[in-house]
């Protein structure tokens, strides 16, 4: 299709209600729909679910998109859907540029507005209550966050997030999250009800006046005594949420650990992060050789190889994840640049293994688990397979934000 043809999709729905009329002109002429929690959420099969809905995503072209085709950008940067979907969506005008339908070979230009009218099937989360532990007079919420729920809208999650649940179920519309926890991590989360309290507590966290404390269950017999890991950490592949120890290019990071007890091949460990790098506790525990026992990312031999990242080890080029019985080779060390710098094959190998592993999970979801005797369950609105529910062990990792301590706490 050439630029200039417009499609008919004009509204977004959740639970059958209009929630995001397309375009500023339409938005001014329609009365906004007030959504209640019952219009958005329902429970089924032991999980909290969101009614599927259409939603308009629009963003101006990022610098790295300019000069690339629309198909290339979506298939390489938005990997939550198969390539066939993006080909169909471009052809039908569900993906457009500057409010015009385009072809898959259309090249993105500087200043283009890229829009995707996506039929959202949010992943279900735990039905465990998002509990408000305390609300102070000066506007601080202390929330007990279950595993499986992200803090902010991100990726495939919008309504099934901490901020949206607090808004829809507890009536808190002005929210200022002070810190964040990974989606799979459970525990206490600090949220401000006004910018002043959020700013003040965030400043105290940065100044180490408030100490975050975690407990976790790791694989193996953790050593006795106070163990300190001060290995620098860097982001290797942002889109894959992949972080590693990198003594050369990493940012200063420090975590203190102390074993509480051990049983059945696992140890329960107390953790005090002194810096706030992404996945810091998980990365440092992996480096020490004691990853969080059920961590799907940092305790994954298919991604990290036989050495599992201990002491900064990376899989070698010759070490394939499928050949578990092959001779174990001495792994390369985590030195040098990330994959984007094109200077270190070990970084590129790690990212490639991570991508391959994610692709295998997608294949398992779309083929092995979705296909029954009559074929896969397919959504009648977007023609995408309905993905299977997560297993209970996929809803959380054994890492819990236990408490915050400091003067006045």
Backbone CA torsion sign across 318, 322, 328, 333: positive
- Cα angle 351, 356, 362; round to 5: 130
Query: How many whole angstroms from its chain centre is CA 316?
Result: 27
Spatial distance between the Cα atoms of 150 and 180, rounded to a whole number of angstroms: 9
- In terms of Cα–Cα distance, which of 321, 264, 300, 303 is closest to 291? 300
* 12-to-19, 120, 159, 249 alpha-carbon distances in Å: 6, 10, 14, 44
- Token digits of residue 65: 């998109």
CB-based contact 53:165 (threshold 8 Å):
no
Which residue of the set 80, 144, 182, 359 is catalytic?
182
Q: CA dist 403 to 142, 152, 188, 201, 272, Å?
A: 10, 21, 7, 15, 10
**Residue 182 appears among annotated catalytic residues:** yes
Q: What is the DSSP string of 312-345?
A: GEE--TT--TT-TTSPPPPPEES-S--GGGT--H
In this structure, what token pair is assigned to residue 309? 């990242």
Active site residues: 182
């Amino acid at each position: 299709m050439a630029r200039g043809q417009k499609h008919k999709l004009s509204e977004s729905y959740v639970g059958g209600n209009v929630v995001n009329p397309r375009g500023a002109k339409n938005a001014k002429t329609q009365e906004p729909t007030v959504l209640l929690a019952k219009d958005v959420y329902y429970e089924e099969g032991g999980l909290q679910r969101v009614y599927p809905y259409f939603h308009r995503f629009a963003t101006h072209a990022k610098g790295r998109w300019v000069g690339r085709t629309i198909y290339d950008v979506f298939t390489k940067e938005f990997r939550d859907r198969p390539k066939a979907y993006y080909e169909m969506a471009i052809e039908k005008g569900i993906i457009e540029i500057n409010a015009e339908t385009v072809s898959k070979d259309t090249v993105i230009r500087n200043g283009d507005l890229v829009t995707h009218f996506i039929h959202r099937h949010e992943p279900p989360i735990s039905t465990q209550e998002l509990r408000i532990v305390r609300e102070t007079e000066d506007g601080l919420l202390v929330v007990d966050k279950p595993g499986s729920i992200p803090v902010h809208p991100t990726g495939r999650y919008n309504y099934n997030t901490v901020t949206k649940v607090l808004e829809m179920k507890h009536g808190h519309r002005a929210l200022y999250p002070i810190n964040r926890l990974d989606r799979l991590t459970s525990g206490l989360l600090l949220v401000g009800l006004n910018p002043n309290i959020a700013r003040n507590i965030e400043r105290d966290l940065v100044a180490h006046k408030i100490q975050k404390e975690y407990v976790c269950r790791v694989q193996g017999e953790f050593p006795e005594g106070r163990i300190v890991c001060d290995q620098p950490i860097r982001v290797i592949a942002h889109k894959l949420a992949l972080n590693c120890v990198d003594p050369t290019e990493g940012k200063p990071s420090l975590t203190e650990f102390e074993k509480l007890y051990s049983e059945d091949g696992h140890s329960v460990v107390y953790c005090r992060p002194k810096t706030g790098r992404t996945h810091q506790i998980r990365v440092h525990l992996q480096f020490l050789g004691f990853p969080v026992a059920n961590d799907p990312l940092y305790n994954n031999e298919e991604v990290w190889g036989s050495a599992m990242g201990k002491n900064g080890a990376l899989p070698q080029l010759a070490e394939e994840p499928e050949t578990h019985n092959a001779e174990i080779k001495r792994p390369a060390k985590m030195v040098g640049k990330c994959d984007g710098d094109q200077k270190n094959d070990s970084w590129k190998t790690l990212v490639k293994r991570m991508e391959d592993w994610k692709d295998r999970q997608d294949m398992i979801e779309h083929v092995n688990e979705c296909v029954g005797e009559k074929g896969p369950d397919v959504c009648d609105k977007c023609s995408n397979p309905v993905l299977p529910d997560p297993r209970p062990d996929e809803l959380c990792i054994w890492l819990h934000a236990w408490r915050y301590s400091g003067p006045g706490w």
